[in-house]
Amino acid sequence: MKVRVSPVLLGLCSSLLLLAQPSIGRTLDAITFTPAQAETTVEIVEKLGTRHYRDKILDDELSSRYLDLFIDTLDPGRSYFYQSDINQFERHRLQFDDFLKAGKLNVNFDIFDTYRNRVSSRLEANIAQLNDDEFSFDFERDESLKIDREEANWPADKQTADELWRKRLKSSVLSLKMTGKTIAEAKKTLTRRFNNQLTRISQQDGADAFEVVINSLTLLYDPHTSYLAPRTLENFNISMSLSLEGIGAVLQAEDEYTKVVRLIAAGPADKQGELKPADKITAVGQGLDGEMVDVVGWRLDEVVKLIRGPKNTTVRLDVLDANAGDGSSKTIRISRGKVKLEEQAAKKSTLELTDGEKVYKLGVIDVPAFYIDFEAYRKRDPNFKSTTRDVAKLVMELQAENVDGIVLDLRNNGGGSLQEATTLTDLFIDPGPVVQIRQTNERISRHYQSRGNAIYRGPLVVLINRLSASASEIFAGAIQDYNRGLIVGVQSFGKGTVQSLTPVKEGQLKITESKFYRVSGDSTQHRGVIPDIALPALVDLDVVGESSYDNALPWDQIHAAPHNRYYDLHSVIPTLEAQHQERVKDDPDFVYLLNQLSIIEDNRDVKTLSLMESKRVEEKSVLENKNLANENQRRSAKGLPTYASVEAMKNADKGGDGEPELASTAGGPPTGPAISPAANDSASVAAKADGDEETSADNDPLLHETGYILIDLIHAINTKENFKLANF
């Protein structure tokens, strides 16, 4: 039976709940849900129970977790609700399963309305405080603000909340002051931000509330299952059509911010190079000098609309650096454009390295995505474009050039066509299974198989990083399970699930229905692919990757599929690892990189933020001098001139005329580029514009070292007795 609830009754219930709470100033009109939303809720609950891969019962235990997630979604910083609000919500902790099954959303909407009123009241208080001429901040008072409030107590009362917000305001003003703004300018910026948030909170409607209410349920099943309201679905379809003109970044809402999830390979942001996964966008400006519009607290779709724009126009982004622990921001300028298929196409280059006795010519194939022109494929166009066809051509060209081995670079490859992951594997192995897929009903299929003989049988290394996901993990996992090649790099993302869209009464439900498994029986989910030889990770594995998501499906195993094993790699990996460690311990670029990562890690460990200006200035100076010392150590070791000051280094980074003082050249000739702490772990890290370092594809220390690992593998293949199977 479909449940229909009277909107009049819901409005009355909301009023009663609000009246039971402490006075919160101006009260916004209550939001109510519709009968169609009630029906949609019942339908979603039914589909989650019968079609989701995770067999989870909506019971009291899930009801309790639902309340926690719902509250955390609304107020993750524990700064708006009071403890008295939480006490009110606790009365319903074990009832939400019954409410949702019946489509009764009045309590859920009451909580949402309480949140809106708390936010509205707080924003008005903040604005009034900033506009009070007699109110000022003492920036020499030694106090601090706790950054992570995930486990903090809820404010006991208004007085406690006021003190928390005094510190938050002070921190925001100080951060803006340290970027060069005056106190008056900082207050103006924050006032504009709070007014924008106030407008948006007052404009929220039933569709906004319903999405939060339902997605607080879907996220309990897994992070990739979600409800798409009609408005959200429209944006989803635009992003999937690849007709979007923008910066080429996947974004998501996190707390009050818009967070960068990943960059689209060969997109404008990827090419520009400064924006990174986990960065948070705080403001968006149009053109070279358009006003920066503060977007903290905005809905994701509204932020996306600002970032989108016509091709060849400029957008400016103020972002909080994911690696900075001091709340500092930077402005990034990106020229909008389309991500073209040909720019995502696989490309080849060669790398010449020596082991001291012989010069090896190595082929490098960069595969930024698993793509296929489905329309041309369906029309039986013999020249349709795909990853496999492009890589096959490049492999044959490299073999004609007599390369000694091939590196297949899958760094930052977020996946794509499963069919292409399978057929690409087909180029390197003889017929056999590539991936296993287990459905909700536990039926396992092995339809995706390599069906032809390998076209390349030489030494192979696959290079991956944390942003190698989905189809990339299927390919890398198959190569590893067949012992066909060596996997080098960073533990991959761990996206091993498959989603489908199913219509509901209003909108659609994106639901996880199956799971990938390697031929070894290991899941790619959560754990990803573990490299045989690890390289430094340039992103925080705790905040980027499937394992960083709450309620991610776990790693598990099923039975292995029968498959060949081409090389006895396990017997030589310890030797290859030892050779790698010996080689990089004194390498200037690797020493620099490890030092830089250590500095970044120290920043990530910061739990409190000083609100004393002199301390903040000192902390910034210490960090900048650490970076300067690290950079000069690298330059000195490579026989390059060092920088006399932080300012000279900054000017050089910006292409200015900062003149480094000359240093000894005892370190020998240049061997590679500097790696900026902000650089993505990309397929080709460009050298710094020093004038004495060549900028080229092989100026990538991680790729450079991977080439040497491939040479070590070639030695092992050629010298170890019975290393290679007779039939390969």
Q: Which residues are catalytic?
A: 470, 481, 495
HEC assignment per residue over 445-484: ECCCEECCCCCCCCCEEEEECCCCCCHHHHHHHHHHHCCC
- Describe the crossing of helices 588-604 and 701-719 by its angle, rounded to 10 degrees: 120
Which among 645, 642, 677, 647 has a CA at the least distance from the CA of 662? 642
Nearest to 568 by CA among 421, 434, 719: 719
- Collapsing DSSP to helix, strand or coil, 361 comes out as strand
Q: What whole-number distance in Å separates Cα of residue 636 and Cα of residue 453?
A: 50
Residues 6+ apart with CB under 8 A from 145: 167, 168, 170, 171, 608, 609, 611
Q: Which of 474, 522, 519, 440 is nearest to 225 (CA)?
A: 440
Residue carrying the six token digits 């200035």: 617
- Residues with Cβ < 8 Å from 235, sequence gap 6 or more? 301, 304
Contact 63, 94 (CB under 8 A): yes
Cα separation, 295 vs 390, in Å, equals 41
Question: d(Cα 576, Cα 73) in Å, to the nearest integer?
Answer: 47
Tell me the pairing of strands 486-489 and 460-464.
Answer: parallel
3-state secondary structure of 124: helix
Alpha-carbon distance of 581 to 574, in angstroms, equals 11
d(CA 319, CA 329): 5
Cα 81 versus chain centre, distance? 29
Q: Which of 412, 448, 414, 409 is nearest to 431 (CA)?
A: 448
Angle at 537 between CA 536 and CA 540, to 5 degrees: 145
Q: Are strands 347-354 and 359-366 parallel, antiparallel or unpaired?
A: antiparallel
Please tell me what DSSP assigns to residue 370: B
- With the C-alpha atoms ordered 462, 466, 467, 472, is the resulting torsion angle positive or negative? positive
| Contact between residue 389 and residue 347 where contact means Cβ atoms under 8 Å apart | no
Q: What are phi and psi of 218, to 5 degrees?
A: -60, -35
**For 558-692, where are the E strands, in sequence order?**
608-610
Q: Which residues pair with 460 in a beta bridge?
A: 406
Name the pairing type of β-strands 359-366 and 405-409.
Answer: parallel
Rounded Cα distance, 24 and 258, in Å: 28
